[in-house]
Amino acid sequence: MTNDSPLKYQQLRVVIVGHVDHGKSTLIGRLLYDTDSLPEGKFEELQKISKKRGAEAIEWSFVLDAMQAERDQAVTIDTTQIWFSTEARDYVIIDAPGHREFLKNMISGAAAADAAVLVVDATEGVREQTRRHAYLLHLLGLRQVAVVINKMDMVEYDAERFTQVSREVESYLSSIGLHASHIVPISARHGDMIAQRSEHMDWYKGKALTAVLDSFEVAMPPVAQPLRFPIQDVYHQDKKRYIVGRVETGILRKGDKLMFSPTGEEATVTSLAVWPHDENKVEARAGESIGITLDDKIFVERGHVGSHVKNPPMLSNVFRANIFWLADRPMKVGNSYKVRYGTQESTVSVQSIERVIDTQDLAQSGEAGEVKRNAVAEITLRARELLPLDPYIDNSRMGRLVLYDGHDVAGGGTISMEGYADQRRAEKPVAQNIYQVESLTSYEARARQNRHYGAVFWFTGLSGAGKSTLAIAVERALFERGYHTYVLDGDNVRHGLNSDLGFSPEDRAENIRRIGEVAALMADAGNICVTAFISPYREDRDRARKASPARFHEIYVKADLATCEGRDPKGLYKKARGGQIKEFTGIDSPYEPPENPEMVVDTQNNDVETCVQQVIDYIEAQIVVKEDSKAVAG
């Protein structure tokens, strides 16, 4: 590689991690020396310090100590950045003093690293922090990972020991879905296999560390991804209104029609502004900070996300996150925290903690009530308002989040929308120029004739909880008592009305939306509509309620997963456990129990007859028209 290489104009950001005392600082110092990147006079200073401290040889870790001391005299910074160069290109090492600071910086400052070097001591092998740091790399989506087995001089450059530790590392990385591109035996203290090959390890045929780093790719500016323009601020200057922010992904051009989420308001870009002024500026690419003017004075504010109309971010008030918890105070279900991603800040509450993972042995505890310090967890968060969200898997720049407990960074991780639907589709009807028609027969008139009110009794619960069994028995009992009633069952409607829908989160949301509208019409027609749908998402049930809010009764058919799985009347749980059914509620797709249902029927602890009678009693108390009621008198 020559100095004229295109790579020379690239800068690779590398984070170096590893268990304490495995030689991370020594490696960084040696890297600077071997690549001739030490500041002038620093080597001589290092010799003096090492001699003064009684060290037999140069202690390369003193390089970082000296740099840190210089920084401490200036200003405190979160992320330490150290530059070095090879013949191929320039590098930035993202480092942080101390384990706790490192974890914070990995989540906030160092999230943009292109590659990572995991340092493992040849004498000790994989240790606790090795596992934690590796899991964090996995959590943050870093895929270019090199492992260095350090202190090979301490094991007499033994090839068998290198193989043994390499297998241990590979086994752990494989178990968390991470793959090391290269595993390099090194001695940072003596410079073996750092920038040059080592005569001590002629049995190793792979690349030295700097050659490995040179083989990594710099993440290209994500201009090919959908446009994301998080708004930083709104300025008013020279009687113009500038929407200011940084283009995180995609390309923004003058004349583009933008949609701003979560409001969904749209406007066209009339100009791009940069300072100093450039009247020829008509395009901004990912990574550029700009101001734009719009042809319409729509409402936008900090945190809103501009996108092209065709491919906006998802909207949801509930989402999943894979997080690493840093705070002393454990995260608990029900607690509220501030979440930040892009320029968006919002308050969220912890709806559930699905899984806590011990990074030491990767043991998983399901349905845990709290996440303790330094633990990794899969959680579900809920906000009061709709948030513009990009899953990390789709957009790594927008898909990372930081959680604050008060003013302190408490944790961070990545956003996942697995199991949850984009709620944007349900926000407004597609059809235009539609007008409601008033019937000449009122709801009250139908009630007088039927001698009961129409209503919706919405059964929700896990598969196997007994919804259909109850609904059919209740329908029969009501019919025999002279009521107009009908059951809308999950399987039945999918044979007709919703036969075009699958079981993706989006299709399940649409399924419930349609049923909610149909049930509302049936209630308006004077019928007692009993529905039996898992309807796993609280948001979907709330939307079904909105179709007929005064006549909607949510009935939670309660039985826990173990009970339902034990019943398994259709054999669906068995298939889901066997991988034949994906996204099955309770197994690999969430179920959100009602928070304040009108009624709870406990089918786990009561027999069918008891439950049916409880429901009948409740329904009759709600729908019977009393003789002196206004409906009858009117």
- Rounded to an integer, what distance in angstroms lies between the CA atom of residue 468 and that of residue 225? 45
Q: Do the strands 251-253 and 257-261 form a parallel or antiparallel pair, or are they unpaired?
A: unpaired
The DSSP symbol for 179 reads -
Residue 244 Cα to chain centre, angstroms: 26
Helices marked H in 53-127? 62-74, 99-107
The DSSP symbol for 217 reads P
Reduced to 3 states (helix: H, G, I; strand: E, B; else coil), residue 359 is coil
Please report, for residues 12, 39, 49, 84, 154, the alpha-carbon distance to residue 33 in angstroms, rounded to integers and kept in the order given: 18, 9, 16, 9, 21
- Rounded to an integer, what distance in angstroms lies between the CA atom of residue 109 and that of residue 538? 35
Residue 391 Cα to chain centre, angstroms: 6
Reduced to 3 states (helix: H, G, I; strand: E, B; else coil), residue 583 is coil
535 catalytically annotated: yes
- Rounded to an integer, what distance in angstroms lies between the CA atom of residue 375 and that of residue 413? 12
- Rounded to an integer, what distance in angstroms lies between the CA atom of residue 12 and that of residue 220? 11
Using CA atoms in the order 622, 628, 633, 634, what is the torsion angle rounded to 10 degrees?
-40
Using CA atoms in the order 65, 69, 70, 72, what is the torsion angle rounded to 10 degrees?
130
Q: Do the strands 400-405 and 455-460 form a parallel or antiparallel pair, or are they unpaired?
A: unpaired
- Rounded to an integer, what distance in angstroms lies between the CA atom of residue 471 and that of residue 479? 12
Reduced to 3 states (helix: H, G, I; strand: E, B; else coil), residue 426 is coil
Q: Do the strands 455-460 and 331-332 form a parallel or antiparallel pair, or are they unpaired?
A: unpaired
- Rounded to an integer, what distance in angstroms lies between the CA atom of residue 485 and that of residue 105? 60
Q: At what angle do helices 42-52 and 62-74 cross, to 10 degrees?
A: 110
- Beta-strand ranges (E) seen in 509-593 are 528-532, 552-558
Reduced to 3 states (helix: H, G, I; strand: E, B; else coil), residue 380 is strand
In this structure, are residues 551 and 456 in contact, taking their beta carbons and an 8 Å threshold?
A: yes
In this structure, are residues 512 and 488 in contact, taking their beta carbons and an 8 Å threshold?
A: no
Helices marked H in 309-442? none
Contacts of 289 (CB under 8 A, 6+ apart): 232, 244, 245, 246, 247
Q: Could you tell me which of 483, 464, 443, 465 has the C-alpha nearest to residue 619?
A: 483
Contacts of 590 (CB under 8 A, 6+ apart): 320, 352, 354, 380, 419, 420, 536, 537
Using CA atoms in the order 329, 333, 336, 340, what is the torsion angle rounded to 10 degrees?
90
Residue 578 Cα to chain centre, angstroms: 26
- Rounded to an integer, what distance in angstroms lies between the CA atom of residue 337 and that of residue 348? 6
Which of 198, 352, 396, 535 is an active site residue?
Answer: 535
Catalytic (active-site) positions: 535
